Amino acid sequence: SSTSTSAPKKREGFSSRKVFIFAAIGSAVGLGNIWRFPYVAYDNGGGAFMIPYLVALLTAGLPFLFFDYVIGHRARASSPLAFRRLNRKTEFIGWWHMGINFIIAVYYAAILAWAARYVIYSFTHEWGDDPATFLMTDFLQVSDPAAGVTFDFVPGILIPIMIIWVLLAVVMSLGVQKGVGLANIFFIPLLVVMFIGLVAYSLTLNGAWTGLDALFTPDWSALTRPEVWVAAYGQIFFSLSIGFGIMITYASYLKKKTDLTGTGAVVGFANSGFELLAGIGVFAALGFMATAAGIGVSEVATSGIGLAFIAFPTIISQAPGGTLIGVLFFSSLLFAGFTSIISIVEVIVAGIEDKFNLGRVRSTLLVVLPIAIISTLLMATTSGLFVLDILDNFVNQFGILAAGLVSIFVVAYLVRALPTLRDHINARSSWKMGKLWMILLAGVTPLILGYSLVNTFITLMN
Ligand code: PFF
């Protein structure tokens, strides 16, 4: 690793393994855990989904997490420079990672702004009798481009999204330990306490057990369907933030003598534990909603925007202690998302810092200012939801999968660096990686990613 481009300057890092673990969990635990996992599990076999999910975690999630860790830790550099230090021809992968994170940051911030706004709406119930109409008419006016795409500002979102960006600029400019590290040390315990409170309260609601029944009743036939397995791997990749530079960047801030695999296992299982908890809380609440309406859980089960900004407002309006549920739910969404977007922006800030040999504050300004402007102009408008849909689909169904596939392929087959990387891991880790790790990485993971990409294209064609 002697292809450094910049003059050596003292590199900042996390002060301890503990701070890294909080930051890595903060990155992994995001919207994906709270509003994506519950429905994916429900829709892909319920209780039976736990099998493909666990298999995906063990055969691709953890192996790929270790791969990200070792690339960042060995080079002690941001994604482009880390790949460059592996082989100068592979630097482009890091820039691809930065592009993906740029796109995610633009729309992820808007979801956080909506969540912040809905904390307030939890008190006022401004969404009225039909939260769906509220979302479309008062909050985001255009979801159907045929009706004409308009970019009028939605005043209620303008201020929250600007506050989010200012806070992010402050955290990023404070640096890796004092900004990123401390923000996670502060928000993650708060998130866990609030979320456990939310889940405990949801379980007391009338109909909660009907919801849990719907989530966990196993449909064993799901195990024979390939889509179910693809969904499990997709959820693991998304949820662990692997394959697009985030974990490479964070691992580059770990101390030289760190148990990489032991640390990764803690992060991986903590993330899945939180997902499971979210499944319980969300389906308990949906069970209440279905019971109150006298309909089946299948009629109210949903994910994403529909879950957070339509189903939950309904639950908040109807449930005893609804305001408490609203505050806990939307604050959880906000804190989980904020610690994730920190890691997303960190990939870009670190990349620019390394490339142009800049200080932290300058790099932050250079990165955050343009993203904040684009994000605000695009997302705080009547077409925010429409833009989000396009960006989110592009990133998740193509960008992340392709980046993961290309990085593994290049490193394993073109650069042939897996044995070197394995040596680096094993020189400092308690859980040693053997041949199996290389087979999973170079064989199983590319097959799954490739299959998922082909699926994306087939769906696009139809
Ligand atoms: N892992 C985080 C989540 O589950 O929300 C962060 C994240 C992953 C954000 C993938 C966006 C994304 F496309």
The DSSP secondary structure of 278-319, one letter per residue, reads HHHHHHHHHHHHHHHHTS-GGGT---HHHIIIIIHHHHHHHS
Q: How many CA atoms lie within 13 A of 368 on its CB side?
A: 26
Q: Whose CA is nearest to atom 11 of ligand 1?
A: 104
DSSP annotation of 411: I
> Each residue's pLDDT tens digit in the chain (462 positions)?
444 454 556 789 999 999 999 999 999 999 999 999 999 999 999 999 999 999 999 999 999 999 999 999 999 999 999 999 999 999 999 999 999 999 999 999 999 999 999 999 999 999 988 898 888 776 665 556 566 677 788 888 899 999 999 999 999 999 999 999 999 999 999 999 999 999 999 999 999 999 999 999 999 999 999 999 999 999 999 999 999 999 999 999 999 999 999 999 999 999 999 999 999 999 999 999 999 999 999 999 999 999 999 999 999 999 999 999 999 999 999 999 999 999 999 999 999 999 999 999 999 999 999 999 999 999 998 888 888 888 998 998 889 999 999 999 999 999 999 999 999 999 999 999 999 999 999 999 999 999 999 988 998 888
Nearest-atom index, ligand 1, CA of 31: 5
Cα separation, 218 vs 201, whole angstroms:
25
Judge if the beta carbon of residue 291 lies within 6 A of ligand 1: no
75 near 85, Cβ under 8 Å?
yes
Cα separation, 128 vs 316, whole angstroms:
11
Nearest-atom index, ligand 1, CA of 28: 1
216 CA to centre of ligand 1 in angstroms: 24
Where exactly are the structural domains of the chain?
A: 17-461
Q: How far is CA 164 from CA 105, 113, 124, 128, 370, in A?
A: 11, 7, 22, 26, 14
Other CB atoms closer than 10 Å to residue 427's CB: what's the count? 10
Residue 164 one-letter amino acid: I
358 near 132, Cβ under 8 Å?
no
Q: Whose CA is nearest to atom 12 of ligand 1?
A: 238
Q: What is the CA radius of gyration of the chain?
A: 22
For residue 94, the SS3 value is helix
Judge if the beta carbon of residue 31 lies within 6 A of ligand 1: yes
Predicted local distance difference test score (pLDDT) of residue 232: 95
27 CA to centre of ligand 1 in angstroms: 8
Cα separation, 252 vs 86, whole angstroms:
14
Judge if the beta carbon of residue 397 lies within 6 A of ligand 1: no
Judge if the beta carbon of residue 274 lies within 6 A of ligand 1: no
**Can you tell me which residue has the tokens 């997303």?**
344
Cα separation, 339 vs 185, whole angstroms:
10
Nearest-atom index, ligand 1, CA of 395: 13
Residues in contact with 112: Cβ distance below 8 Å, sequence separation at least 6, in sequence order: 160, 161, 164, 333, 334, 337, 338, 341
For residue 143, the SS3 value is coil
Domain 17-461: which CATH number of 1.10.20, 1.10.4160, 1.20.1250, 1.10.287? 1.10.4160
Residue 316 one-letter amino acid: I
Judge if the beta carbon of residue 239 lies within 6 A of ligand 1: yes
Judge if the beta carbon of residue 396 lies within 6 A of ligand 1: yes
Predicted local distance difference test score (pLDDT) of residue 314: 96
* Residue of 299, 208, 240 lying closest to 66 (CA atoms): 240
Judge if the beta carbon of residue 33 lies within 6 A of ligand 1: yes
Judge if the beta carbon of residue 65 lies within 6 A of ligand 1: no
Predicted local distance difference test score (pLDDT) of residue 50: 98
Predicted local distance difference test score (pLDDT) of residue 153: 84
Name the phi and psi angles at 160, rounded to 5.
-55, -40
Cα separation, 353 vs 260, whole angstroms:
25
For residue 381, the SS3 value is strand
Predicted local distance difference test score (pLDDT) of residue 155: 82
Judge if the beta carbon of residue 399 lies within 6 A of ligand 1: no
Judge if the beta carbon of residue 341 lies within 6 A of ligand 1: no
Judge if the beta carbon of residue 28 lies within 6 A of ligand 1: yes
* Residue of 181, 256, 241, 153 lying closest to 14 (CA atoms): 181
323 CA to centre of ligand 1 in angstroms: 27
The best mutation among 25, 27, 31, 112 to test binding of ligand 1, ranked by most ligand atoms within 8 Å of the C-beta, falls on 31
321 CA to centre of ligand 1 in angstroms: 30
Cα separation, 336 vs 188, whole angstroms:
8
220 CA to centre of ligand 1 in angstroms: 28
Predicted local distance difference test score (pLDDT) of residue 25: 98
Judge if the beta carbon of residue 241 lies within 6 A of ligand 1: yes
8 CA to centre of ligand 1 in angstroms: 32
Nearest-atom index, ligand 1, CA of 400: 13
Predicted local distance difference test score (pLDDT) of residue 460: 87
Predicted local distance difference test score (pLDDT) of residue 3: 46
Q: Whose CA is nearest to atom 4 of ligand 1?
A: 32
436 CA to centre of ligand 1 in angstroms: 27
